[in-house]
Structure formats: C-alpha cells, structure tokens
Structure 1
C-alpha cells in the first residue's frame, strides 16, 4: 500500500501477512478519525495545537536576545526534557555553539562535560515541568557548586540560569521568583515526551541557528495531513491500522531505522515516546493487559552490519520503520584512481547513491524474506520536514493508545521507581 500526503513525507506500507480488511475500511477509518479528533480536543492534551501558535516561539526569541552571545549552552533535563532538544540539535544544528546535554546522573560523564567550559561564556538551561525531578535537581546542585568553585557568587550564577517549567505550579517557578531567574513556559497541558515544540526544544534550537518558524510550519502541514477527511489515504490512520493489524499476529516490536546519521537521535526520541506512552499494565477499563509495542532504535546503513541479521532472519515479531532522506545537503564522488574491482563498482557513483542503494537493497530483501516494513520518505532533512515528522509520530502515538485502549499520556510504571529511589536514599546504603 502506498500513501502520498500533502506534505513532503511519503509513506509505503508493506506486509506479506494477510491483513484484516475491516481495519482499513472507510467506515472503520472514519470512526478512528473521529476518535482522534476527540483525543486532541481534550483540554488536558495540547501537543497537537502547538503548531497553531507562535506564542512560545516569540517568548524564546525574547529571551534569546538577552543571551545569544553565549558560546556554550548547557541543557539540563532528563527524558522528554532532553531527548527532543538533542534530536533537533543533532539533526539540524548549524551554529558554532557548544552544546552539552546533562541528561544523566553519571558523575564521570558530567565531569567530562564541564571540563574546559568557561562559565563566563556559558548559560545553563534547566528543564523540568514539575521542577522537582531528582536528576535535574542533583545536576543543578553540582553546577552551582562548580560555579562557586570558579568564583561566581549567587548573584552572578543566577544570571546565567534559565528555567523551563510549568507556569502554574513548580518548584523551579518558586526558585525563579526567589532568585529572579528568567523562565520559559512548558504548557500545563503538554507532557514531557510531547514537549519538543515548546520552549523545551525551541529555545536551544535558536542557539543552533535552526529556523523555529519553519519547524512549526512543517508541523502545521503535518497537522492538516493527520486530519484529512480522505480517510482511505490518510497516512496517520492507515499506519495505525497497519501496526495494530501486525500486533494481532504477535508482531509487537517496532524497529525505527533512519538512513541518516543526523537522524540517529530521532530514534531515541521516538523510543521514549513509543515505549512510555504505550507500554501499560492496565487498559482504560482497569483490566490487566500488559500491552505495548517495543521500540528498537537503529540507523542505516550502519545497522545493516549489526542488527539486520536478526531483523531479516530472526523471529517474525518486528516491523521495520525505514526513513529515507531523498536529497542530502552535500555529497562526495566515489571516483578513484585505484584500479580494484571493489573501487571500480563505485567509481561512477556518489556517497548518496550508495546510501540509497543500501536502503533499497534492504527493502527488496525484506520483501523477499516476508518481513513487514514501512518506508517513510522526506525530501530533505530540514526544519520543515522535522516538524512534519514530530507531529506525525506524536499523533501516531496518541492514536495508537486509542487502538490499544490505554492512556498514552501517563507513565505509572516510571513513577513507582521514583518512589523507591527516594525510599532508598532515605534509608541509606
């Protein structure tokens, strides 16, 4: 099945498994579109409407004007407070700004990240919706100590801090008021893993010379596509039905594999989005279901030489999501003076030709081996395409939650671990 949307993203769905045609009928898809509209109309769920406002982009620009001379941008957050911004910077960043993402509590790694940083040329962006995340709090404590060891007192280091947090109730909000620290808003109706198009991602994107309005434009176009009344050609609805149909055949693992090194971090953003949203013990009726679709990150062509053997000939429990960038921003000729068969095969081609050949070779082999896969295409890796991808996969996650009858906007399994972590700290080691 091939579907062409109104945006630059095209999708081809391929499965050798006999499908349930009812899942792809016009009546069923129209019902699912109606359900999706109900999901995004919920006042507690705001991610889908972010492309329709420039409020947060303009707020980020105002703060950026005050700090744009900084040479080092230290982003402190965990999970959704970091994965989205990291994905944007890796995929689209063009500036000379040094970015450090303090996204874990490994003391050795943080020591490496702070090494060589001049605090006078640095700003520190602390991101937490609640403001009380243990990992973010710990990182702030050690950064304050580090800055004071460098001779900066509270008045000086507080001017280098920017907070992104909930605008109504947050520990960071209280601290910002006390210390007169600039804050940006994480809307109350948007969860962390859906927050990349808020100041969580938009503010660091400015320091990387990313056009945040182009990002929002792409997201807006994708939004229109997701709401298309042409349900038989609606990519969101068909992709959801495709993956749900496969799950009925115990194909429950989702391999996300862009053929682009710059999009590798997109896999890790998707992994959190998919895993934390869909992996649930209880369904919406309170019944134990232990359901979900397990994400596996990869990227081409590198993982053709590592994981692909398993994907191609291992258990038939995986669907591959292959993402192609049709046009790279640069290329290299493979013409060479070396007269050897392996060099001669490549001499009339470019590096981009080889990447495309590797991808299409994989697709052909997957078909021959009876392996279900989805082939996504974007014209090029730019801010507009990234906006399209973000809204599409956030919407896919939200709608898949409906298909599975689970709440894709909570994470009770994560919360329990936090309770036990604090319990252990209180008891000691």
Structure 2
C-alpha cells in the first residue's frame, strides 16, 4: 500500500510515543486478539475441513448481523472467483428474507449461522425460520447437521450448546475478537473459501503489513502518520471520514468501514469516565459513481470531512473504447481503455479536492486481490485501535447499542401480556 496525504503531514505535539505504547499494549493483551488472530493457522485449517465436507453445496447462506455479515459480504463482493450463489440474511425484514429464501433450493444450500454471543436475537430468528422451512420440507431434526454450520464463542454460548445438541459443526469466533474485527476469523474465512478466495494469501497480506505497523521509527510508521494527520484535522473541525474506493467491487469495503469506525469510536464516556461524546462519523461512497452524487457535497459543502480516496492501480480486466461512431465525445474516448478513464477521473478528483482545500488521504493498492484486501483490513482495524488511544476512549466496547436491545425485549414482553 502507498500513502499520500493532502495537506501534507506536519509536525505536531501529539503524544505519539504514548499512542504507540498503548497500541502495543492492546495488541499484546490477551483480551484483544484482532492483530494476532491471523497467526492462528488452526482457525483456517478448521474452515478448510468444513469446506471440504460441504463443497458440493451450490448455495451458501450466511445468517448474521453487523460484524457477522459486513466483513464476509465485503470479501465476497470484492474477490469471489466462482459461481457459488451467496445470500446474506443480515436483517429481520420479513419481505426481504422471503425473497431470499424463495429463490434458493434449500436442500442444496449450506446455512452458516454466525453469532459470537450465541444469542443474537436477529440471527437466532433467521436460524429459526430456516430450521422450520427445512423441517417442513422433509428434513429430519437429526439431519440438520447436514445443512448447518455454526460460528460462535468456543467457551460460553447458547449456539455452542445447541450445536452440541444437534451435532452441528461449530467453528470458533475467538473470545477476544469483537464482531466488527472478526472478518479474518472463521466468520469471514469460511464464506471466503466457498467463494474460491485464497485465504492463505488473505492472511499473508495482513501479516506482511505488520512490520510497517510496528515500525519503531515513529516518523516512518504509516499507522501513526495517519492517526496524527486525522487528529490534526479533527482539531480543525474535520470530524467526518469519507471512505471512497474507486472500484465497484470494493464498494462494500465502505459499509464494513462504517461499522468499524462508528461502533468503535462513537463513545459517550472517556477512559476516565467523563462525558465526552466523542467520535468520527463515517460516510461510505465509491467512485466514479458518486462523482454524480455525493461529490458535490464533498467539494463545496461544510469543511467538516476528510476523504480516504482508495485507488486500485491495475484492474484484472479492461475494455478498449475504440470506435468508429460519429460522435465527438466518443472519438475523444477512442484512443483509451476504460481503466484510463477511471484513472483520469480519480486523479481529476484529487486535483479538484486539493484546489478546493479539501483534505484527502490517497491510498493505493496494486490490485484488488487477497493480499491487498488482507493488508487493508488489518490497517483499518489497527488505525481504529490507535485512534481509540488518541481520542482517549475504548474502541472495543459498544455500550450505546445495548440500551435499544433492552427496550426492544421489553416491548416483546409487553406483547406477551
């Protein structure tokens, strides 16, 4: 990955040594496993064994919500290499679920139920619906193990207990890896294997980046550079972060980033318990499409945004725009390939942003492949962690989510009375 900052990095008085020390303490802690989980080869091996058993399945249905779906969706849309059909039951909209289940052959499908806690209401609802449909279609309860795989906490989980009761294979979601950080665990690795993605290369991409993230020459450490740049801009009122890959296949990277950034950094309390109402608001976009949509706001709206402009240097496919049609605009395009137009629009956007004094991070990856994806995942997870240190909040909890759940279950209890 290559990084270019506009405006350029400047000297600041941020306590970078303290941030770096805190980051190392986080990744070395037994309570926080996202950085080291890529070294646990047995997790991928367990997924390969499940894939070998069920590789005849024509449809893969992942039942999960939030981090149990967004990361896998990103991997599939960016990197799928075969014709396995994927569905993600990632919400509790009855009409949408009906549409999804109506167009698949249940008996040719594998259903992957993912819930770290093992009791996520939305996920368990999806599991109940699919189970009922299978039973209605003549599948015996003793045969459910041929249609389901679970992923959950290996120590304490309702789903783990249910898996043992039904003899359903249970893959591990490590206890010390939160859902939004879990894409490089079996949560994302199993669907990736079914999509023909090389997961060894995916993990290699993450591991190869680690020396740069841990570079003790702090003036060259890309992680600290990015954190300092973001904090400097935040102090000037730039508190919104736009993730804008110029690639349709990387569009879902933006949605994955939104959860990672929002749920980790949006906090009421500081580490010392004070009310701070902290956070950086993420906005997903993608080019060149959003040049005809959100870019008007990004260029001329409030000076409160930072752009992460992601460029794929070389596409795997291309199209010549050569033509003999009688149109001045078509003839102007004729000497070029489609990738030339994408590159020109990307660079044109950077130049316009600079002219309008809109800050951006130009992030380049050589190709949209497993190695690049693994590196990007670990970089943004690590950036999120170190931004937690910079903002003096805990990026690994989500207390604001729990209150709504309490009211939701109270509402259900009222309906039962």
TM-score > 0.5 by shorter chain: yes
Q: Tell me, what secondary structure is at the counterpart of 1:69?
A: coil
Q: Taking structure 1 as the reference length, what is the TM-score of the superposition?
A: 0.95
| Mapping for residues 409-428 of structure 1, pairs under 5 Å | 409-428=396-415
- For residue 250 of structure 1, report the CA deviation from its aligned partner: 1.1
Aligned residue number for residue 317 of structure 1: 304
Aligned residue number for residue 21 of structure 1: 12
Aligned residue number for residue 163 of structure 1: 150
1:106 lines up with 2:106 in the alignment: no
The separation in 2 between residues aligned to 1:375 and 1:177, in whole angstroms, is 48
Q: Tell me, what secondary structure is at the counterpart of 2:333?
A: coil
1:364 lines up with 2:356 in the alignment: no
The separation in 2 between residues aligned to 1:166 and 1:32, in whole angstroms, is 30
| 5, 24, 35: which one aligns with 1:37 | 24
Q: Is the Cα contact below 8 Å between 1:326 and 1:380 reproduced in 2?
A: yes
Q: Tell me, what secondary structure is at the counterpart of 2:320?
A: coil
Q: What whole-Å deviation, never above 9, does each CA across 1:126-176 have from its counterpart, x for those lacking one?
A: 000011000001101111111122221212233211000000000001101
Q: Is the Cα contact below 8 Å between 1:164 and 1:185 reproduced in 2?
A: yes
Aligned residue number for residue 177 of structure 1: 164
Aligned residue number for residue 201 of structure 1: 188
| 233, 246, 258: which one aligns with 1:259 | 246
Q: Tell me, what secondary structure is at the counterpart of 2:57?
A: coil
- For residue 19 of structure 1, report the CA deviation from its aligned partner: 5.4
Aligned residue number for residue 3 of structure 1: none
Q: Is the Cα contact below 8 Å between 2:145 and 2:169 reproduced in 1?
A: no
Q: Tell me, what secondary structure is at the counterpart of 2:36?
A: helix
| 208, 216, 229: which one aligns with 1:221 | 208
Aligned residue number for residue 388 of structure 2: 401
Q: Is the Cα contact below 8 Å between 1:255 and 1:320 reproduced in 2?
A: yes
Aligned residue number for residue 148 of structure 1: 135
Aligned residue number for residue 335 of structure 1: 322
In structure 2, runs of 5+ residues without a counterpart are none
In structure 1, runs of 5+ residues without a counterpart are 1-8
Aligned residue number for residue 86 of structure 1: 73
Aligned residue number for residue 286 of structure 2: 299
1:77 lines up with 2:68 in the alignment: no
The separation in 2 between residues aligned to 1:385 and 1:310, in whole angstroms, is 30
Q: Taking structure 2 as the reference length, what is the TM-score of the superposition?
A: 0.98
The separation in 1 between residues aligned to 2:232 and 2:30, in whole angstroms, is 30
1:349 lines up with 2:375 in the alignment: no
Q: Is the Cα contact below 8 Å between 1:29 and 1:232 reproduced in 2?
A: no
Q: Is the Cα contact below 8 Å between 1:90 and 1:262 reproduced in 2?
A: yes
- For residue 345 of structure 1, report the CA deviation from its aligned partner: 1.3
The separation in 2 between residues aligned to 1:48 and 1:240, in whole angstroms, is 17
Q: Tell me, what secondary structure is at the counterpart of 1:94?
A: coil
Question: What is the RMSD of the two structures over their aligned residues, measured on CA atoms?
Answer: 1.2
Aligned residue number for residue 59 of structure 1: 46
Aligned residue number for residue 217 of structure 2: 230
Q: Is the Cα contact below 8 Å between 2:144 and 2:166 reproduced in 1?
A: no
The separation in 2 between residues aligned to 1:288 and 1:146, in whole angstroms, is 48
Q: Is the Cα contact below 8 Å between 1:20 and 1:245 reproduced in 2?
A: no
